Each structure stands twice: as C-alpha cells, then as structure tokens.
Amino acid sequence: MSNIGKSLVGVASCALFLGACGPLPEGEELDGSVPGEAEVLDDSQSEEPRRVEAQTLAGDLGSAMGAPVATYPTSCTASNQWATTCRSGSSRDVSWVWRVPETATYSFSTRNSNFDTIMEIRNYKATNEVLKCNDDTGDLLTSGITLTLIKGTQLLIIVEGYGGECGNVHLNIVKR
C-alpha cells in the first residue's frame, strides 16, 4: 500500500473511532503501562544496602514466638530488597526483625506458606552477616533454620521465593 493509501486509512479510522485520535492525556503512554513499572533490577553489580527499607520490612516482632508468629498476605507486591545467599538469590522479599528473648536454640520456618520459599537469617545490626540460609526442609518446599542464639541478639529474618515465586508468607518461631 502506498503512503497516500496509508494516510487515508488513518483518516478513516479517526472518523470511525471519533475521539480516539486526539492527543493522549498527560502521563499516559500508548501501551497503557505506568512509567517506571517495567524497570529491571540488576543486583549483580550493586552493593547491597545495609539499611532496611520500610516497604520490605513487614514488622518488628519484638521477641514474640508462635506458629505462625506472623503472616504476610502476599509477597507478590513486596519489593526486592535482599539477595539471599542460597539458591535462586533474588526475588521479591519480606523481612522481620526479631530479638532473642533468652539464650537458647530456636527453630524458624516458613511452613504453611503457599509457595516455594527461601529463608535467610542475618544479624540485624550488621545485615551483611548471614547466619544461615535455607531453601527446602526435607520434602517440603518451605524453609527451616535452627540456631542457638544469645539473648538480646537482633535478627533480620528474610523470606523470599525460589525462582521468583511469591505468595502468602507464614513465619513460625519456636523455642526447641
């Protein structure tokens, strides 16, 4: 089709879909996407921040324990703040702060979460210090970590998904 033919078709479409040919409202793009949403995160080169950003920190649990001690409706809307050190490395994550109530051995798990989780526990006061990372526990795709800890130690408990999975997070903390 010639150029003239194409522009004629264009005019015809404008007439048929009246109102669809005007200038786009400000801030709206042709494909309907929201600007900035398609940004690709590349954690491989950047240094991991040591501070905890509010949007990924689900809460400070104090020294609470329970099964679950906390839940998070969906990690699918969380941001990707941490690159965990076992398995898939980097997907959307949620994290909690927890203080060791007394020197003892504790079990942390994501049992009853509805997706394939990865859990990593770090020293909250020096978040580059990884205490332990776990992907699966036995036949379960959820994660479990057991640690003997000193009273008053503050932990950062990070839960993310294997291979980009996300969902409803259950966090369980029990004393052994």
Alpha-carbon gap, residue 44 to 99, rounded angstroms: 30
CB-based contact 110:171 (threshold 8 Å): yes
Alpha-carbon gap, residue 111 to 142, rounded angstroms: 5
> Does the footprint of Ca ion cover residue 136 (CB under 5 A)?
yes
Contact pattern from residue 59 through residue 98 relative to Ca ion, giving x for each residue in contact according to CB under 5 A and a dash for the rest: ----------------------------------------
CA nearest neighbour of 57 among 127, 113, 105: 127
> Does the footprint of Ca ion cover residue 147 (CB under 5 A)?
no
Alpha-carbon gap, residue 68 to 108, rounded angstroms: 10
Min CB(61)–Ca ion separation in Å: 22
Min CB(135)–Ca ion separation in Å: 4
Closest residue by beta carbon to Ca ion: 135
- Residues lying near Ca ion in the complex (CB under 5 A) are found at 116, 135-136, 141, 162
